[in-house]
A and B are shown apart, each in its own frame.
Chain A
Amino acid sequence: MTPATPAAEPHTAFEAANPHLAKKKFLEDAAEHVRDTGHRAFVRKALGGYYTSRDTQKSRYRDWEQARDAASLAKWSAVNRLDELLPRFVAKFEANGGRVHWARNAEEARDIILGLLRATKQEAIIKSKCMTSEEIHLNAAMEADGYGVVESDLGEFIQQLRGEPPYHFVFPCMHVRRDEISDLFGKHLGTPPTDSPEELTMIARRHMRRLYIDADVGITGANFLVAETGQISITENEGNARLTAALPRVHIAISGIEKVIEHLDDLAVLLPMLATAGAGQPMTCYNTLYAGPRKPGECDGPEEMHLVLLDNSRTALLADPEQRDALHCIRCGACLNVCPIFKNVGGFTYGTTYQGPIGSVITPHLRGLADWNHLSGASSLCGACTDACPVRIDIHHHLLHNRRNAAISAPSRLERLGHRLFVMVAKRPWLFATGGAVFRRTLWLIKKLRPPLLRDWLATRDLPPAPAHSFRSLWRTRA
């Protein structure tokens, strides 16, 4: 059973104004998105390339399924011993010269970071990709306090210029066409139009170099926290996180508490699997371990290194033995990439920090089941996500668990009545058979009347005429 969910923080201005309309907005946005067949085909095509490279890389494992077992075990044993491993990590990290700040929720995390910024008396901030910062709406808070912040991950930079949140938590601008990026750079950076991906990358790179040098504070996320050594592991493809962490005077990392793992050796399976499942790569281009600030006698690295450890309902999820494995998530995005719902409604329709199947599982825990259960309902339960998950989270069954929890904590009276009627019929074979006969004889009329639900079917799909005879009667009379 899910423990009581804490009061959720509004995610957008819309949500703040309409706390209980998330479902309505989801349905409207989904309906609008599915009409954009060009966009859907574009996303399918982009992911088609990913499937090919993912499968190529998977085939290089001697046994991918065993690798999943190993990765899942590493995360399972860490998540189930957070009480022991977190203090061990913190002791090592602080012994290395870093400082840990504990945040119970988004507000505390923002206050800690804004406090650190005020203490450094600096204003220029460079930031690498960090979904936890999206979760706590950090950029908006920093900007409101007058700080200038620039996203250094190319995809996040593009999204920042577009004024949009990430579309996909690993591929933030996967929905944006190359010519749109060219126009965007032209508008904001004054660069000439180009169709070359290399040139577009170089434009961003040239723009960014100066900013790394000028920035006083670098903010990063964290992929893993290694308890054994007190190191932060960060995975990236562009080298921007290294510059973000190394060049500014102060490095602030933000991480959910579930990111801790016990052994450095665990990375031997987790890093390649993160790369393969997430992006179809053998390894991500840059995998760096950060072990504290610059030490006496060292020539580079930040003078201060802070780590904000965020709970934000994670301990509540930890207390749920049924769905605790959702904390195994390494945010690879594999479940989004295979999800037919994600591919057809797009990343923004979810209205959440974490999109796709894993987002539909955890968002009700982060922001309240009553307002977010519709995401668990918006699934055909096909299970492609669960098969894709490198750490074996039972994703699609957790959608069922959320539906059950919602039916208990906030049942819809009408729906419950419907199910009770259904049980009444299903437990009485004579009534079931009679109901079937009535249905067969009146289906033509029902189709004309178009009652709710059937109306939704008939709007886009045909329904064949009812068969003349039931299986029961055919069985009785067969030779």
Chain B
Amino acid sequence: MAPQVGLAVARVLERLGHTCEFRPAQTCCGQPSFNSGYWDEARSVAIHALDVFAGAEAVVGPSGSCVAMMRVFYPQILTGTPHEQAALDLAARTFEFGEFLVEKLGVTDVGARFPHRVTYHDGCHGLRELRIKNAPRELLRHVRDLEFVECDDTESCCGFGGLFSVKYPMISTAMAEVKGGSLARTECDYIVSSDPSCQLQLDGWLSRSGKKPRTIHLAEVLAGADA
């Protein structure tokens, strides 16, 4: 649903002198099955992913949620299987995009310009499974002409939660209402996110309720995208 995000990630990394590779065998991380309790099915998808990413120096994902699945939950569901070591090995090589720039590459200024007022939405998996809090803010602080405003409710969940959003739509929407409302009150032009799934939820609700701001992925901001 968001092909521009992957391209933006590659643009930023290549600008920094790295080589990006996309392996066409890549599919989904398997989180929908894992979160639904169907761990045998999730395991099967995880093993496919282990094969796909074998040998890559670093695996960078523009989604805290997918990265949490690969880094935190693959080793858990593959414990005691012949794939345990490969899962741990992949976990050590897998990074969320903003985290990779700041923590792994030590880069906080990627030379981007984005003349807008923005706030940042902490995605729960990035924040609480991967403990990413400062990296995206550091990166945004170094973007030219960007005005950053913190939302007082920044760590609250947007209510997506994968299949939760359609199995319990009323609760999911109520959560979007609370978080989307807080984000809109910052009077920002854009809500920066590191998770396309949070973006789907927040934009879905913001658009339906006629509120102004829209989300944008951190990679798009850093790639210099200007809508």
A interface residues with partner B (beta carbon < 8 Å): 27, 30-31, 34, 40, 44, 340-341, 343-345, 377-384, 386-387, 400, 402-408, 411, 415-416, 419-420, 422-423, 425-427, 429, 432-433, 453-454, 456-457, 459-464, 466-467, 469-472, 474-475, 478
Contact = CB atoms under 8 A, between A and B. Distances in A.
Contact of A427 (B1, B27, B178): B27
B175 A384 contact: no
Interface string B39-81: 1010011001000000000000000000000000000000000
Contacts of B39: 404, 407
Contacts of B128: 382-384, 386-387
B176 interface: yes
Nearest to A452: B166
A462 B32 CA distance: 21
Which of A405, A460, A463 is packed against the most chain B CB atoms within 10 Å?
A460
Contacts of B200: 463-464
A464 B124 contact: no
Contact of A464 (B1, B38, B127, B157): B1
Nearest to A376: B37
B194 interface: no
Nearest to B47: A427
Nearest to A407: B37
B167 interface: yes
Contact of A475 (B6, B127, B161): B6
B7 to A, nearest CB: 6
Interface stretch (B95-103, B138-146, B183-191, B202-210): B202-210
B37 A405 contact: yes
A466 B1 CA distance: 6
Chain B interface size, as a band, is 35 or more
Given A422-B41, A462-B204, A380 B161 contact: yes
A423 B1 contact: no
A454 B164 CA distance: 12
Given A403-B37, A432-B28, A344 B175 contact: yes
Contacts of A453: 163, 166-167
B108 interface: no
Contacts of A460: 169-170, 173, 176, 205, 208
B136 interface: no
Interface in B148-168: 155-157, 159-168
A396 to B, nearest CB: 8
A349 B97 CA distance: 39
Contacts of B165: 380, 457
A475 B160 CA distance: 28
Interface of A, helix, strand, loop or mixed by DSSP: helix
Contacts of B26: 429
A379 B33 contact: no
16 contacts: A377-B164, A378-B171, A381-B164, A382-B124, A400-B37, A422-B45, A423-B45, A426-B48, A453-B167, A457-B166, A461-B201, A461-B208, A464-B203, A467-B4, A472-B24, A475-B22
A378 B30 CA distance: 20
Interface centre among A343, A400, A408, A419 (most CB of B within 10 A): A419
B126 to A, nearest CB: 11
B82 interface: no
B194 to A, nearest CB: 15
B172 interface: yes
A459 B208 CA distance: 10
A466 to B, nearest CB: 7
Contacts of B6: 471, 475
A419 B35 CA distance: 11
B11 to A, nearest CB: 9
B166 A423 contact: no
Given A426-B45, A457-B165, A462-B207, A341 B3 contact: no
B38 A416 contact: yes
B166 A456 contact: yes
Contact of A40 (B34, B127, B161, B174): B174
Contact of A461 (B1, B24, B204): B204
Nearest 8 CB-CB pairs, A to B? A380-B161, A461-B204, A403-B37, A407-B37, A382-B157, A383-B128, A471-B3, A382-B124
A27 B170 CA distance: 9
B25 interface: yes
A420 B4 CA distance: 30
Contacts of B204: 457, 461-463
Given A345-B171, A403-B35, A453-B166, A380 B157 contact: yes
B121 to A, nearest CB: 12
Nearest to A349: B171
Given A426-B30, A461-B208, A34 B170 contact: yes
A464 B199 CA distance: 11
Interface in B193-227: 200-201, 203-205, 207-208
